[in-house]
Chain A
Amino acid sequence: MIELSSSFIAMAYVMVVAITVGAVAALLQKDLLRAAFISGAESIALAFFFQALLAPDLGLTQAIVGTVLLPGIIILGIFKTRRTEED
């Protein structure tokens, strides 16, 4: 049990960095499609974090919703409008 939680905390450190960097990187992209994909990657990191925080069911939900459904909706919007951000 001890080694399990210590491996979780190592994972949590990585995930904090991944989430923060992913969020900032998503918002800095000029290409909106890439921004949507990066926000999906950030969602995967969040799903692993939920796993570490003892909520594996939420991790599964977040993995599906955050990587497929939400970016899907946003990508649909991008295809109906325009792909790059105008100045």
Chain B
Amino acid sequence: MIEVTIQLLGFIAAAALVVIGIAGMLFLDNLIKKIISFTLLSDGVNLLLVALGYVEGGVVPILIPGMSVSEFATRAALVFPVGIVLTNIVIGVSTTAILVALAIMLYRRYGTLKASKVLKGERR
């Protein structure tokens, strides 16, 4: 029996979000739904990275007065994944903005949000 830790729960939720996100992006037919699925997918990746940096019984990586440096070094959660996740949140927002802008442009042209109609292969 594996002991259930917060980290394990984080991995489980991350896996669920990634699977739901990818499935939504591939199988849902509405462009806005596809975009929402993408935000879920990027949330899942963020959660995976944060859970990776978790240290069992650790502390938030802020050096509080009174804590020795060696204790901090052994107990603090990892900070590098946090940097990656901050970048990923920014990238996720900009990608979403571009996707929404393109979806609006294509809606004006075709009058529908159905991916099967909008994205049908057509040469000029």
Contacts and interface: CB of A to CB of B under 8 A. Distances in A.
Chain A partners chain B: yes
Interface residues of B, number: 52
Given A9-B5, A32-B33, A73-B97, A56 B60 contact: yes
Chain A interface residue number, banded:
35 or more
B73 interface: no
A36 B35 CA distance: 10
B33 A85 contact: yes
Contact of B47 (A39, A46, A81): A46
A65 B35 CA distance: 15
B60 A20 contact: no
Given A54-B60, A80-B104, A39 B36 contact: yes
Nearest to A62: B89
